[in-house]
Amino acid sequence: MKQKKWIALTAILVLSLILSACGSKDTSSSGQSSNGNNKEELSGKIVIGGSTALQPLAAAAAAEFMKEHPKVQIEVQGGGSGAGLSEVSNGNFDIGMSDVFAESKSNIDASQLKDYKVAVVGMTAAVNKEAGIKKLSKEDLIKVFTGKVKNWSEVGGKNVKITLVNRPDGSGTRATFDEFALDKQTPAEGITQDSSNTVKKIVNETPGAIGYLALSYFNDDSIVKLAIDGTDATEDNVASGKFPVWAYEHMYTKGDPKPLVKAFIDYMMADPVQSNIVPAQGYLSVTKMQVERNAEGKLTNK
């Protein structure tokens, strides 16, 4: 009996070895063909990773791209903007996704990287309903976030204590909000949360809470979308440059991309993705922007 068991076990082992060998053969052959014929039919593998904010958009576009080119395999990972920039610089990712300009990370050699701005994300402060605030001047917003004002009644709201909800150090959302909504002032201490959904939940449930979110999260009336300096945070106002708090979503490649990677990035920037998938995922299309911004934050008309 025992011997039979052993025979069965070894048989399974041998079988699985053969199978796995077959599997590895498969992948190696597809890898070879990717080097050969990329003019007729695209094939091969792309690894994309980084910003979790951009991840759903990249994944949706990748799914469509793979439908059109069945021999292409695209892997979209998360990891955060920092990981995206480091890994693309090291050559581990074909495309690194980032919420921030590579220039803003001191130890990344931005001159090595090629920047493709694939989408724009607008954001504004999200305020709990009980605060009784719908708009603020930038000056008052800075006072609120730097802790100079502790109660909403001091800036024209109800008598409710202010609770700040920040994002962690290094977060692209935080960097954008600090730079364009708070004029580079350092916000005071409060609750810190990373996930936009958690921030939304906290702002909704905590009386007097204020945080900041991408515009796509204001899809119901559980939180108040704050107007800054009398300008509503709408997509049109962001596109025309009237509303200042927005950022690019970047895809970086190391040097000039390989033909396959280039084909995918062209696909990302082209109309079907920009006018369907980008708005569906809650972003603004880059093609609609009437203004441009460089890494130093300087705004110019297109």
Partner 1 sequence: MENKSVVVQMPSSPNNEGRSLIQNNKKWTSIFNRNSEWRGKIWIYGSAIFVILSVIAITLFLTVQGLRSFVVDHINVIDFITGTEWYPDRAENPSYGALPFIFGSLMVTILAAMLAAPFAIGSALFMTELAPKWGQKVLQPVIEILVGIPSVVYGFIGLSVIVPFMRDHVGGSGFSLLSGALVVGVMILPTITSISADAVRAVSNDLRSASYALGATKWQTIYRVVLPAAKSTLITAIVLGMARAFGEALAVQMVIGNARNLPNAISDPSATLTTIITLSMGHSTAGSVLNDVLWSLGLILLIISYGFILLIRFISRRGQVS
Which residues lie near partner 1 (CB under 8 A)? 6, 52, 78-83, 85-86, 90, 105-108, 163, 168-172, 174-175, 184, 186, 189-194, 198, 201-202, 205-206, 209
Stated as kind and residue range, the H or E segment containing 142 is helix 138-145
From residue 170, give the alpha-carbon distance in Å to each of 100, 103, 176, 285, 294.
Answer: 9, 13, 10, 25, 19
Strand, coil or helix: 119:
strand
Pick between residue 3 and residue 300 the one whose CB is nearest to partner 1.
3
Minimum distance of partner 1 from residue 192's CB (angstroms) = 4
Pick between residue 139 and residue 205 the one whose CB is nearest to partner 1.
205
Pick between residue 107 and residue 300 the one whose CB is nearest to partner 1.
107
| CA distance from start to end of the chain | 80
Pick between residue 108 and residue 223 the one whose CB is nearest to partner 1.
108
Minimum distance of partner 1 from residue 4's CB (angstroms) = 13
Minimum distance of partner 1 from residue 195's CB (angstroms) = 9
Tokens of 23: 């599997």
In 10 A of CB 96, how many CB atoms?
A: 30
Minimum distance of partner 1 from residue 248's CB (angstroms) = 17
Pick between residue 87 and residue 94 the one whose CB is nearest to partner 1.
87
The answer to whether the beta carbons of residues 214 and 53 sit under 8 Å apart is yes
Pick between residue 206 and residue 240 the one whose CB is nearest to partner 1.
206
Query: Where would I find the beta strands (DSSP E) of the chain?
Result: 44-50, 72-79, 95-98, 113-127, 135-136, 163-166, 191-192, 209-214, 224-225, 227-228, 246-254, 291-293, 299-301
Phi, psi of 129 (to 5 degrees): -60, -35
Crossing angle of helices 55-68 and 259-269, rounded to 10° = 110
As to burial, measured by CB atoms within 10 angstroms (0-12 exposed, 13-18 middle, 19+ buried), residue 73 is middle
From residue 277, give the alpha-carbon distance in Å to each of 74, 118, 242, 273.
Answer: 17, 11, 25, 5
Q: Strand 291-293 relative to strand 246-254: parallel, antiparallel, unpaired? A: unpaired
Minimum distance of partner 1 from residue 79's CB (angstroms) = 6
Pick between residue 33 and residue 198 the one whose CB is nearest to partner 1.
198
Minimum distance of partner 1 from residue 107's CB (angstroms) = 5
The answer to whether the beta carbons of residues 47 and 94 sit under 8 Å apart is yes
Pick between residue 102 and residue 277 the one whose CB is nearest to partner 1.
102
Minimum distance of partner 1 from residue 160's CB (angstroms) = 12
Minimum distance of partner 1 from residue 290's CB (angstroms) = 29
From residue 223, give the alpha-carbon distance in Å to each of 118, 130, 146, 207, 209.
Answer: 28, 10, 21, 11, 10
